[in-house]
Chain A
Amino acid sequence: MGEAEWLWAVATCVKALLIPTYRSTDFEVHRHWCALTSALPLARWYSDASAPCCPLDYPPLFAYFQRILALPATALGGHPSDLLRLSPSSPSSAPLPVLIYLRVSVAVTDLVFLLAAARLAHRRLPPASRRLVLVLLLWSPALLIVDHIHFQYNGYLLGILLLSLSFLEEGKDLAGGLAFAVLICSKHLFLVAAPLYFVYLLRHYCRGGSWEASRRFLTMGAAVGAVFAAAFGPFLYYGQMQQVLSRLFPFGRGLCHAYWAPNFWVFYILLDKVLSFVLLKLGFDIPAPKASFTGGLVGNFSQFAVLPQVTPLITFLLVIFAMSPCLIKAFQKPQPKHITRWVAYAFTCGFMFGWHVHEKASLHFTIPLALISVNNLDDARHYFLLSIVSCYSMFPLLFDPQEYPIKVLLLAIHSILMWIGFSSCFRVEVAPGGTKTNNSIASNGKQGFIGKFGTIYLLGLLGVELWGQLLHPYIFGSRLPFLPLMLISIYCAAGMMYSWVWQLRQILKCS
């Protein structure tokens, strides 16, 4: 048994123990999709409105995946099978066989992730950092929280993303493009990186003379087109495309989720609040917005009292604008060695400025960034902070006291392992001349591994958590229940903002 398999097996044991934990409504949503796709004809998958809680809003490849999952349903007992019950109910009342089956299906599809991680680690990395990267990927606490407690299927999707990246890094552009096409036909949230993929493949794959270039362009187009045809073709045939698209892009949802994802818009909302408060005090007449963000209500429109309203189009343009430096770099000099960084940056832009972003989307860039975290000390330092912030921002997903020690321990173990790994990777290296190399911790003075600001920031994170758990209930009781959540959002948003700026600077500097 190799190290990757061993790490995966240990993680699988933990996943098995996580089976009885809390699961969110996403569990019931996925179960309902199994029922929906097996009970209804394909033409009605995206038009069925019988269950308002959980309409199918993932692209067709994922729907097919759910259909396949439903196949052994009859073996799970019940009549009609418990798995294929069309009426959704509370996720906590799921019968045990169904619970175990769906939980195990997540753990088994994680094999794709293992495959991708092992492939990347073994082809690319020296043994010294391989072990660390495998730990970061296979024991990612955020992934455990989202997939194996909260319940989603990010493991295998991120596995496809990693596969695509590993193909691109090896120069196998066609395979990389194909994998990415499969990925966005499975979960369209990954679409954010499509502009980058387009520019990169156009410049890196479609090179050579004009004839050769156009031949390659057509090959890539045909391959990606085939994936899309396989996914969307049947729905086109039944005249369902309009319906599918309206499900995939529900812009009526509002700028922010009930719990604000820690991104740029947190500051925007906050500024609006502060301004309206100040202006009110100064005697201006400010109309109160119809839907308040702090109440957790998500209306059709996001209401700001002072600042200009934000529309989906604005967020789209902002994302593209934020991404443009890396698009330009990719256009000028497409290099396989930078692709991981670029893709991660593209996802970061989508996370920071996108419309209705979930906190879970930070996985899309923390997982790929793990691959390059061992490149040098600066990357390691940035990753250490980012991965803690990203995992911590997912804490509000699990609110029951039963899961509290689990999430804290997962994050603590992850932090310690990162600490051990990074500090041994960048141990004091004394060059033959007696001068220390730049890549060592000691050369950065006495600040230690994370540096002064990093340490202060992480201590602040601890403070935010202590406030939310102890001081807030002590001082306010059950009043202002949104305040601790807001604090987490704002504090993590600051960390995310730093990470975005840092990545941008790194891209401008390196490539």
Chain B
Amino acid sequence: MAQTRRTSGPPATAFVAAEVEEQPGAAPFPWSTMRLTPPTAAAVALFALLVRVLVSLGSYSGQGTPPTYGDYEAQRHWMEITLHTPAAEWYRNTTANDLAYWGLDYPPLTAYQSLAHALLINVSIPHSLALSSSRGFESHQSKLMMRWTVLSSDLLVFFPAAIYFVWVYFHRNVGGDGEERSAPWLLAMILLNPCLILVDHGHFQYNCISLGFTLGAIAAVLSQNDFAASALFSLAINHKQMSLYFAPAFFSHLLGKCLRRKNPIFEVMKLGLVVIGTFALVWWPYLYSIESVMEVLNRLAPFERGIFEDYVANFWCSTSVVIKWKRIFTIHSMKFLSLITTILAFLPSFVQQLKTPSDQGFLYSLLNNSFSFYLFSYQVHEKSILLPLLPASLLALQEPLLFGWLMHCALLSMYPLLRRDRLLLQHGAVLSLFGLIFFPPHGNHVTKADKLSTKEKALIALGLSCSIVLHLVYLCFQPPKKYPFLFEALIMFFCFSQFVAFTIYTNFKQWMLLDHSSWAVRVKKDL
């Protein structure tokens, strides 16, 4: 009996979901259905795209602020450099390429992407990319073109990856059995991430590409397609080196799985070859000498920029109020210290995946790894919170309330940045939109508030009022002259405390995962 029930598991639950839907009065709109059909997925994706287009109407970082401008100018400048100089000189200081002015400091894939976009823009407005004379170029038309390059990258990389992930998640039953499953909701949570939308389409960056590749790699791991996963994740690293935050999770999970196969060494070597091959392809123009490789590598690791930038809610910045890390340690010892603490922080999660690799455990370990990097690694800035947010949004069905809270804290931690970029209107609108979709009408099973105890409700109310006060104070009051960054520091402390509590909880949760969902057991069952 038990045997038959188990084998017919997924179809039976699908049937139940269908039955729930058949009740009169349920048009399967994305917010009122459980299943992800092509029209529903299209509706969610198009709406997410619409929100991105609308946010992109706002200003970008460094708009109209010579002489250095901001990230928008950096991206434009990279397009200019990659368009007009040979690949070998992209990372080298030459007369045409002054590295002191927004020198390229991302891996080659970012450079290729800049080149591809430059070729597109060059067709219609070449003077916006003219070598050196175009520095600080700003116009309505060029802003539009630049915005559209981000929109199209998002649509081409992140959107398919998100749909692929949601499909795999439900097809492979990653979330475990249970009727509380709503695929369009999960897709909306991944696609309507307010932080990602505001940073990419407001502030101006291309995180959607590296995060999209990472998401694709995660989905590939879940669908047991380890080669595709290795290749995609290598691409992610080659687009933004920050993707390395996820590397220990991928490494431990894939290694853990290989160790359970017949020929562990052979399996590991196959994956290694895929990774090396992908890297070789991307780095091809620089592989002619060790020096040129080192040249690029030096650009990618800007240790001289210090252990943190601005007010980022991580360990080093938050504790530097009490302990002046920058004064006590040299850059070299600081590097070592941050490396040790980061490794210590992700070690538990690493060991768990090595021991018992499982689908859910993998998602948790991605979250824990990226958080340990965010909290302890070298040269973190506030936008890095996007990396932990990605696996957190993938776990939205497991930890709905915590995910919502984390998203809100992450957005709060970027509040000073968004205010500087004059994106407060967009910030408010996208945050409200996220809240509304998080709590759809008639209550999604996942986010029903009446399941909470009074204690939990009180805790949420306390946190929420803290955050509202912080928002208002930062917006309306002038800080005292003696402490001009008092409010930034307060926001940072608040977010840091939440992030630490969150990491401890999810590490605990990862270790407590039941064994039955682990990959090893599933293989035995299949046999």
Contact = CB atoms under 8 A, between A and B. Distances in A.
Interface in A1-51: 1-3, 5-7, 9-10, 13-14, 16-21
A421 B24 contact: no
A424 B28 contact: yes
B429 A13 contact: yes
A13 B427 CA distance: 11
Interface string A464-487: 000000000000000000000000
Contacts of A405: 49, 53, 151
Interface string B26-46: 111101100000011011001
Contacts of B32: 131
Contact of A13 (B26, B31, B144, B432): B432
B353 to A, nearest CB: 39
A351 B47 CA distance: 32
A131 B441 CA distance: 11
Contacts of A202: none
B46 A9 contact: no
B57 A402 contact: yes
Contacts of A420: 27-29, 39-40, 43
B41 to A, nearest CB: 10
Given A3-B442, A6-B436, A127-B24, A421 B29 contact: yes
Contacts of A131: 25, 27, 29, 32
B436 A17 contact: no
Contact of A416 (B26, B39, B429): B39
B51 interface: yes
A450 to B, nearest CB: 14
Contacts of B46: 409, 412-413, 416
Contacts of B277: none
Contact of B53 (A127, A409, A417): A409
A16 B24 contact: no
Interface string B398-410: 0000000000000
A17 B441 contact: no
A434 interface: no
B441 A3 contact: yes
Interface string A496-508: 0000000000000
Interface residues of A, number: 40
Nearest to B32: A131
B24 A126 contact: yes
A319 B520 CA distance: 76
B55 interface: yes
Interface in A217-265: none
Nearest to A416: B43
A409 B50 contact: yes
- Of the listed residues B47, B144, B441, the one surrounded by the most CB atoms of chain A closer than 10 A to its CB is B441
A457 interface: no
A94 interface: no
Contacts of A130: 25
B29 A10 contact: no
Given A126-B24, A409-B50, A416-B43, A16 B441 contact: no
A17 B439 CA distance: 20
B147 to A, nearest CB: 9
A419 interface: yes
Contacts, number: 101
A61 interface: no
A421 B27 contact: yes
B27 A21 contact: no
A199 interface: no
A19 B425 contact: yes
B58 interface: yes
Interface string A125-149: 0111111100100000000000000
Contacts of B55: 17
A392 B11 CA distance: 42
Given A1-B441, A13-B433, A13-B436, A18 B50 contact: no
B452 interface: no
A220 B43 CA distance: 47
Contacts of B43: 413, 416-417, 420
Most central of A14, A402, A416 by chain B CB within 10 Å: A416
B440 A6 contact: yes
Contacts of A9: 432, 436
B437 A10 contact: yes
Nearest to A16: B429
B128 interface: no
B264 interface: no
Interface in B139-168: 140-141, 144, 151
Given A6-B441, A17-B425, A405-B53, 13 more contacts: A5-B441, A7-B441, A9-B432, A13-B429, A13-B436, A14-B54, A17-B51, A17-B54, A17-B426, A131-B29, A401-B144, A406-B50, A417-B43
3 A-B pairs with least C-beta separation? A127-B25, A17-B54, A6-B441
6 contacts: A14-B433, A17-B430, A128-B27, A131-B27, A424-B26, A424-B27
Interface of B: 24-29, 31-32, 39-40, 42-43, 46-47, 49-51, 53-55, 57-58, 140-141, 144, 151, 425-426, 428-430, 432-433, 436-437, 439-442
